[in-house]
Each structure stands twice: as structure tokens, then as C-alpha cells.
Chain A
Amino acid sequence: MKQILLAASAALVLSAASVSAADVSPAVVFDMGGKFDKSFNEGVFNGVEKFKAETGISYREFEVTNETQREQALRRMAQRGADPVVGVGFAQGPAMEKVAKEFPDTRFTIIDMVVDLPNVQSVVFKEQEGSFLVGVLAAAASQNAKVGFVGGMDIPLIRKFACGYEQGAKHANADIEIIQNMTGTTPAAWNNPSKGGELAKGQFDRGVDVIYAAAGATGVGVYQAAKDNGKFAIGVDSNQNYLHPGTMLTSMLKRVDVAAYNAFKGAQDGTWKPGIQVLGLAEGGIDWAVDEHNKSLITSDMQTMMDQVKADIISGKISVHDYMSDNSCSY
């Protein structure tokens, strides 16, 4: 046992030495989706890759495969002297809470969740605002006054997306009909494009002509179905307009890449601050995407209306209800 402890402490000393050698030794713990989920985790991955490209500082990474590994991975990173440690996703909240207490000198950043500790930076997004915006656009683009929503796994976060979308669509057209489907109740729902495609076709058959998908990799199937049926789809998290130019109406941007990049960069610059960062439209953490792939689909009227709504949300003239504030979508 003594030898083992000795070896362990030697490892700690070694890693401590490596901390002083470089300015920062950042680390990121991806969640179960994996870093190539074309969505949330991949956004973070893009952000930290950008950091690596700019600064030349490499980072440690880990992809968790079960519930218990979250805590293990965060602790392992801290033990190895990583700083800051970025945790991706709300599911890492409880684990980070424990580990951050054990390592008060290590800086932690958690994305999509609030952990109230002096050494933790919590970055959360007002997804309802972005969803509201694309809801407005969906209603404007819909010929049949029917818009659809396809969610991934049925959890409060996704209902938050759905609720914001619903409010936006109703804001643009009070009589609009909104059809919602969740893909499933297990994590597999994040990665089931064929089911996503079927749900989308089902909604198209019922007259829907614009679908907003907040479903991770399942969304890919929704976008494909929209293209095959000549209907519109709206992407989520990262800019997915490029996937099918002409039928991707827009994407709701949740700039997790920016959040991750800022965490690393801030730690390097010394501007990293603990506390809660709520990123919404006003902070540029949430937005809707217009680029060369969907420019032709956005009429000037739409553009004007969207700019107006966006300004109203930022100014507080429109307040968007957050599903998670009371676990219901009553507004």
C-alpha cells in the first residue's frame, strides 16, 4: 500500500510540475453523447480545438460511458493537475459539485448547468429565446399555418426548447397549430435518425411544413426527410444550415463552442471568473443563423420581423417563459 501511495504522490508531483511548465493545462470531460455527436458535445469540441489551434496549448479529454464515470473523470482531471476543467452538459452537475469541493484550487466550468461554488463557473443558455426566434420564423414560413417540433429524449431541457418554439410561433400567428413529438425516453433517442425521419414524415402528412428538431443526431433524419419532401427544417445548437441548403430554413445557435473556448481562454488570460453566466440573445450566446446556405429563403420581411423580435426580447419588451422555471409551459 505504501508503495502504491508513493507512486500516486509521485504522479501528482509530476503533474504539478507540468502545471508550472505551461500556463494552463486545460481539460474537458465530454458527456455520453461523445465528442462527435454533430451537436452539443461536438460544439464544445470545436471550441476547444479552436483554442488549441490558436494557442498551441493541448488539452486532456475524456468521454464518459456511464453515470459513475462523470465524477471519476472530473476528479481524475483535477488530480492530474488540469486547470481549468470543463464539464459538458447538465448531467455532470452533481458530480462537479462534489469534485469542485474537493479541489477548491482548481477552476471548473460547467456548461448547461448551475453549480454554485466559488471555484465553479456555470454557463447556461436561454434556449427559450432562440427557440422563440426560430418559432417566429417557422410560423412566417409556414404556408399551412402548421409547424412541427421533434425533440430527442423527453426531458425538461428539451421541453424548454419546445416551449420557447411554441411561444414564438404563437407570437407570429396566434392561430397556428403546433405538432410536437419526442423521439423517445432513453438516451438512444439522441441518436436515432431513422425514427427522426419517420416522425418528420408523419408530421408532414398532417400538413406541417416547417419542423424544428432539437434531438442531437436524430435531427439528421428530420433534416433529410424535410429535403426529401421539399419542406423546411430548422437546425439546432450549431449551425446546421450547410447540411441541406434550400430546405434548412435556419438553425438555432447555442454557442457552446464560445462558452468552452472562453473558459479555456479566460483561464489563460486570467479573466476567468466564477459564478453564473447566463448567455442569451443579448450576450450573443444564443442566436439564429443566416448564411449563404439559407439567405435565399429569408425574405426581407422576415428579416425585418426577426430583427424586431430579437430587439424586443433583448430589450425585455417580449418576455419568453422558461419551461424549467416551473416545469410547465404556461405563459
Chain B
Amino acid sequence: MTGSNGGIPRWVDVGLIPLINILMAFFVSGLIILLIGEDPIEAVGILLYGAFGTDYGIGYTLYYTTNFIFTGLAVAVAFHAGLFNIGGEGQAYIGGLGVGLVLLSLDSSLPLILLVPISILASALFGAAWAYIPAYLQAYRGSHIVITTIMFNFIASALMVYLLVNVLIQPGQMSPQSREFADTSWLPFMHEVFAWFGMSITRSPLNLSIFWALICCALVWAFIWRTRWGYEIRTVGFNETAAVYAGINPKKIVILAMCVSGGLAGFVGLNEILGVHHRLLLNFQLGYGFAGIAVALMGRNHPIGIILASLLFGTLYQGGAELSFDMPKVTREMVEVVQGLVILFSGALALMIKPTVERIYVVVAAIAAGRRSTVEG
């Protein structure tokens, strides 16, 4: 039977439809902003200027983007195996713990060039370990991964509070934070990197982690589409029966995919702990793990899409903050509503407009073809 998606070019599917979704989200947001008595056009201007108008704004936007890339990739890898990893939040948290423990024990004894790979390894291992337990429970005990990963977010949170309140806290210090790492162990900020080359840009939390994020995109792409492990992950994700037929053990794949996923989420800890805060603290991961779900959804689980979706979310986070600076009536809750609308339209309602757009495309294409043929005739 001929399907209804015959003849729709890919750019409509991956370019035009997401764009229309975002515009629809902005349109509804505009109505809400209008309702509270502000000018939506001006608000969009402030948001975009806040995110891209200054090197400072760009720095923040890209800093947020870095986190979203990590969690978006994490969700995507699990998704390719047909798993819904809601636990990015906890895996990022524990990944940060890994970085923190490495730095707290080695920061003044090793040079940065060694600390960075060790930290990368530690964040990946800790994040992966945190994902391994729910993965094991799913594969061998049948506990649903959505439930267990959510539970593990809470356990991670409780564990971190316990450690920071009772064990790792810097004595005589009000907030539950570890001591600051030796400044020789900090991952260079981008404004520092630019300074090496004699260029001066405003300081922002953007640091070298963003390059690691981009490298991870390439690695994930190669892993999923160019290795036999990725092949097996996708087989299980698309069709578990076919996987068993092919001699693939779905249990092992669940574990593999979740560990890779957890490791990627753990890199949020790299950006936050080694790159920005330079100490272990509470709640640095807040919200990124969940936003990663929306990022992966929007990015169609493909690294390129994830980079673009992350950039969009980075823009919303940074531009949204600037918006509440400059428009006091636009509270942070309003900004969250705008973000929520973008997620709603491009995630949950992504397929809502698809049939309409396809129909319009077919009509337009037919008219264009008709005109062409009459010209030729």
C-alpha cells in the first residue's frame, strides 16, 4: 500500500516542519506577552539580542548549549535502543560527583593536561554507573526503565546532599559546597582562551567543554551509524524480535546503550564542575537532564539536530533571562511558559501539523509542476 508520505522531500520533514512548530510556539507566547501588557515584538527583540547581541550573551547561550548537547545526546542514544532515559538529571549529578572527587583528591598534584582526561573519564564512568543500575533492573528484572531512572534522580539528589552536607563540605562554610579546587586545575574559560591569542571578549561561563560536546556529537554519530554496536542498538530499538532473530542479546544492548547514555549525561558535570563552578555544589544539574528529552525529541535523535535544538534551548535560557531583566512583567515563570510552549509544539505536537504541511506541499508541487508542463507544452 502506498503510504501517505510518498514524495515529501526530507527538508520539509526536518527543516520546514520544526521551523513552523517553533514559530507557532512563539506566536502563542506572543499572545501571552500581549495579554500581560508588553510588546511581543520588542520581547522577541530583547530575547534575541540578549542571546546573540553581545559576546557576553553568546557566551552564555553557548554555555547552556553545551549542557543541552550532552543531555540531548544521552537521551538520543538510549532512544535508539528504544529506551526512554528520564534519568539524565541524576546521571549528570553523579557525573559531576565523579569530576569533583577527582579534583578534590588530585587538583594540586597533577597538571591540567592530565586532569582533563581523568575528569572526562570520571564523569563518564560515574554517569554510566548511575545508569547501569536501572539498565540492569530493566534487562534482568523487568523493572521499567522510566520508573527506575526517575527514582534514581531522587536517590542521586539525596546522595549528593548527604555527601555535601556531611562529608565533602568545606568546614566553617554556610552553604553545602566543597572547597574550591586549585585554580591550576580549572578548565580554561573561552575568554581566557581568546586572551591567549590576544583577543579580548567579555567573560562568561563558556569554557572548553563545548569542544568536547561537539566531539561527542561526532563520536555519537559514528557510534550509532558506523559501528556494529550502534547497528545492534538500532536493531533492538526498531525491532527487538528481529534483534533476537539476528542473535543480538537485547539485555546486553539495554545495558550498553544506557551506560553510554549515562556517560554522556555525566559530561554535564564536566562543564559545570570543572568548567564553571570549580567546586562541588548542589543542584548544578537542575533542569538540564529533563530539557535533554525535549532537545533529543526536537533534534530527531540525530547529533546535528541535537546541536540545533540545544542552540535553541540555550537561546531560550539566556535570552529568557535577559527578558526578565529588561521586562519586569515577564517573570521567570513566564519565561518557563515560553520554553514549555516550544517543547509542547515541537515535541508533543510535532506531528500535529505534519499532514497539513504535506498536503499543502503536494498541492503546491502539483501546481508548480503543472505550470512547468504548460510552459513546456
Contact = CB atoms under 8 A, between A and B. Distances in A.
Contacts of A156: 165, 169, 174-176
Contact of A4 (B54, B158, B328): B54
Given A155-B176, A327-B169, A69 B161 contact: no
Contacts of A112: 174
Nearest to B64: A68
Residue with the highest number of chain B CB atoms closer than 10 Å, among A64, A112, A187: A187
Contacts of B260: none
A66 B313 CA distance: 14
Interface string A1-40: 1001101100000000000000000000000001000000
Given A91-B175, A155-B165, A324-B174, A68 B276 contact: yes
Nearest to B288: A66
A5 B200 CA distance: 11
A72 B54 contact: no
Nearest to A155: B176
Nearest to A124: B174
Contacts of A153: 161
A49 interface: no
B175 A90 contact: yes
Interface string B87-127: 00000000000000000000000000000000000000000
A319 to B, nearest CB: 18
Nearest to B199: A1
Interface in B301-330: 321-322, 324-325, 328
A113 B171 CA distance: 14
Interface stretch (B5-13, B77-85, B279-287): B279-287
28 contacts: A4-B53, A4-B55, A7-B53, A60-B325, A60-B328, A65-B287, A66-B283, A66-B286, A67-B283, A68-B276, A68-B284, A69-B321, A71-B205, A73-B325, A93-B175, A94-B180, A94-B279, A113-B174, A114-B174, A154-B165, A155-B176, A156-B175, A185-B157, A185-B158, A185-B161, A186-B283, A187-B283, A325-B172
Residue with the highest number of chain A CB atoms closer than 10 Å, among B53, B279, B325: B325
Nearest to A35: B331
A177 interface: no
Interface in A88-119: 90-91, 93-94, 112-114
B165 A63 contact: no
B215 to A, nearest CB: 22
A300 to B, nearest CB: 38
B177 interface: yes
Interface residues of B, number: 40
Contacts of A91: 175
Nearest to B58: A4
B287 A66 contact: yes
B55 A1 contact: yes
A105 to B, nearest CB: 18
Interface in B187-213: 202, 205
Interface in A182-197: 185-187
A8 B50 CA distance: 11
B332 interface: yes
B281 A72 contact: no
B283 A68 contact: no
A245 to B, nearest CB: 32
B277 interface: yes
B223 interface: no
B181 interface: no
A68 B54 contact: no
A93 B161 contact: no
A277 B22 CA distance: 50
A61 B328 contact: yes
Give 5 closest A-B pairs by Cβ, nearest first.
A185-B161, A90-B174, A185-B158, A186-B157, A90-B175
